[in-house]
A and B are shown apart, each in its own frame.
Chain A
Amino acid sequence: MEGRYGIAMARRESPAAGPGSRALVVDVIRSAETISRGELAELTGLTQPSISNIVRELIADGIIHEIGSLDSVNGRRRKLIAINPGNRFGVGFHLGADSVTCVAVDVTGGVVGREVVPRLPDEAVVADRLAERFDDFTAGLDLPRDRIEGLAVVAPAPVPGSSGAGAELTGVRAELVERIGVPVLVENDAAAAALGEFWSRRVSREQAFGCIYLSSGIGAGFVFGGALFRGTSFGAGELGHVSIDYDGRPCPCGNLGCVEQYASTRATVTAARENPALRARLALDGSESSAYDAIAQAAVNGDPAAYAVLTEAADRLSAAATSVVNLLDLGRLVLTGPGVALAGSIFARRLRTHLARTAHSRQRHSVSVELSARPRDAAGIGAAVLMVQAAVAPGHTTRAMRSER
């Protein structure tokens, strides 16, 4: 039944070669790694002539290339095509509290450069500074401007009523485009991270894919049919504000019992500091991020008190994540963000166990839970990948978010 639905969906999406066909073809090549034109026609439901035209265009644009041929069963040579990684680049900036992480990726999502630049506390988000950083970063990597698809700037989604970097960003976008001469996108960090994982893991567009970003807040992103799901106003994925207790801890957002109040890295550090012995043993009085890493390292090395604090957070997060899996019938979930860099195995194990026991779909299909290979940089990488996707598989990015050059 699943198989039948899968095929039906793929065919319905693209009955004839329309504007979405190119994105579909790029997506299928990306997730297959290498593929022949015949297989492409089979997998996309497009006709051979349409495939030939789109492939010719993509080769001319330098997005894909032929990488030799293979003997097929009946002896005819089949030419294989693949994404051409080194030809185009995307750049992403992730605005953190005290630093900006700048990342450049190739078309496959492979990182070709990264820089972490200190950011002054309360430093305003201004186009001038961002443009300077962009110039400096791309010059340091020797990336030619005409091979950069654009810049995406991502930040945590602002809490309602506050004016975070996210809110300021939208205001500087047009000016930034003017200054650097490439397209600019603005997105929230967790959503970008989800697209980055989707792209570089070569997840197929048939998958209902989700990604949880664990940091001082908790966010999520979802990719359906190859496109990031954005909601009405680019606010989708506020997993941190899924309540796990209607009478629970108050949250600045106005709700009670938001899972962020129990499972974010900030909540974990607060909980650990309330244990005086643990606080002294792990020297938790420094910065929040170094305190969290100390707790995480101690937990995986077998410190029972640190482990208890983290499993508590993991169990709360698992409850909220299971609700999301049930709501959306997700098939694949990746955990990322600085919160899982050291202690990811604890979160992934607890979530796997919880889902195996309680997920609504457990008798129909398994829900895979994986750990990001680059959790600390996931948002910056995802931002850069957004630009790559917008360029090589257009049609997934809404016009409202895009500023053309």
Chain B
Amino acid sequence: MTQAPGRIGLVLARASQVLGEEPYYHEFLEGLERVLTPAGLSVLVKVVTDRAAENATYEQWAAQHRVGGVILVDLSPGDDRVGLVRGLGIPAVVIGDPSTAAGLPTVWTDDAGFAREVVRFLAGRGHTVLGHVSGPLAFAHTQLRRGGIEAEAADHGLTLLTAEGDYSQESGRTATEQLLAARPQRPTAIVYDNDVMALGGLETLKDRDLQVPADVSVVAWDDSAQCQLAVPALSAMSHDVGRIGELAAAAVLDAMRESSADTVYEAPKAHIVVRDSTR
């Protein structure tokens, strides 16, 4: 095969159960395919369990000419994947902050800014002790959100309790236990970095006989049908994930045409949808 193949690759380094659970990636892929399928390109997602396997996948794809471009997600500061795919000569797009992309085109979401917005919202409702259940702290977007939450909490003089999860429902439960074990103060509001962990948190709060939202308010980052169906229905940081997928598709098509572009495609703004889990 000498022609660039009509296929875009995306590797997710996570337990396979997580791809099963996370509405974020389903809607992201849906947006991606809305643009790429009519353009005659297919989208291949490979789920691997660790970063070493992810890097090996890029090497194999390049050697066998299996993809015409890749989309990189969950980057860490100074991530070696950027240099790797560049060295392999695969056109690539980064979903994340331009600071992690070393000149590759990016689809950028203002994680720090939106994180500040969540804290402002909760501070405005009189909460003084906040919990934040984040995704893996190795990811740049997690650090940006955590930074935004810390800065805004400090501006409002709020106490911040934190725990780290891995986006799975189980980790949402465990992290919530950790926050509730904090003494002497218990959070009156908890922000979760995704909907799946928030659903886990809701279960833990129910097990502890804590009322949502009377005792603890809950906000999920990423809205989803499951958030809306939860009892109580979850207030959520909603963003148009399908649109982010469409932008990523446009970006990767651009990257395949001209290899040197370091364009920043800005994702639409996120906003809080208030439902029954916050007071």
Contacts and interface: CB of A to CB of B under 8 A. Distances in A.
Interface of A: 85, 98-99, 106, 108-118, 137, 139-142, 200, 290, 293, 297, 300-301, 340-345, 348-349, 371, 373-377
B16 A142 contact: no
B45 A113 contact: yes
Given A106-B16, A111-B16, A113-B47, A371 B225 contact: yes
B45 A142 contact: no
Nearest to A373: B21
Nearest to A142: B60
B26 A341 contact: yes
Given A115-B43, A118-B42, A139-B66, A345 B27 contact: no
A139 B27 CA distance: 26
Contacts of A376: 26, 30
B211 interface: no
A140 B16 contact: no
Contact of A99 (B37, B238, B273): B37
Nearest to B48: A112
B24 to A, nearest CB: 12
A142 B21 CA distance: 23
Contact of A118 (B20, B41, B46, B238): B41
A300 B228 contact: yes
Contacts of B240: 297
A243 B11 CA distance: 45
Nearest to A346: B228
Given A140-B44, A300-B228, A374 B34 contact: no
A305 to B, nearest CB: 18
Nearest to B47: A112
A113 B7 CA distance: 14
A50 to B, nearest CB: 31
B61 A140 contact: yes
B229 A113 contact: no
B252 to A, nearest CB: 14
Contacts of A114: 44-45
Which of A115, A117, A373, A374 has most chain B Cβ within 10 Å?
Answer: A373
B42 A116 contact: yes
Given A113-B47, A116-B42, A341 B57 contact: no
B226 interface: yes
Interface in B31-64: 33-34, 37-38, 40-47, 57, 60-61, 64
B40 A141 contact: no
Contacts of A137: 44
A301 B228 CA distance: 10
Contact of B37 (A98, A106, A108, A343): A98
Given A113-B45, A140-B61, 15 more contacts: A99-B33, A110-B17, A111-B19, A112-B16, A114-B44, A115-B7, A115-B43, A115-B45, A137-B44, A140-B46, A293-B30, A300-B223, A340-B225, A341-B30, A345-B228
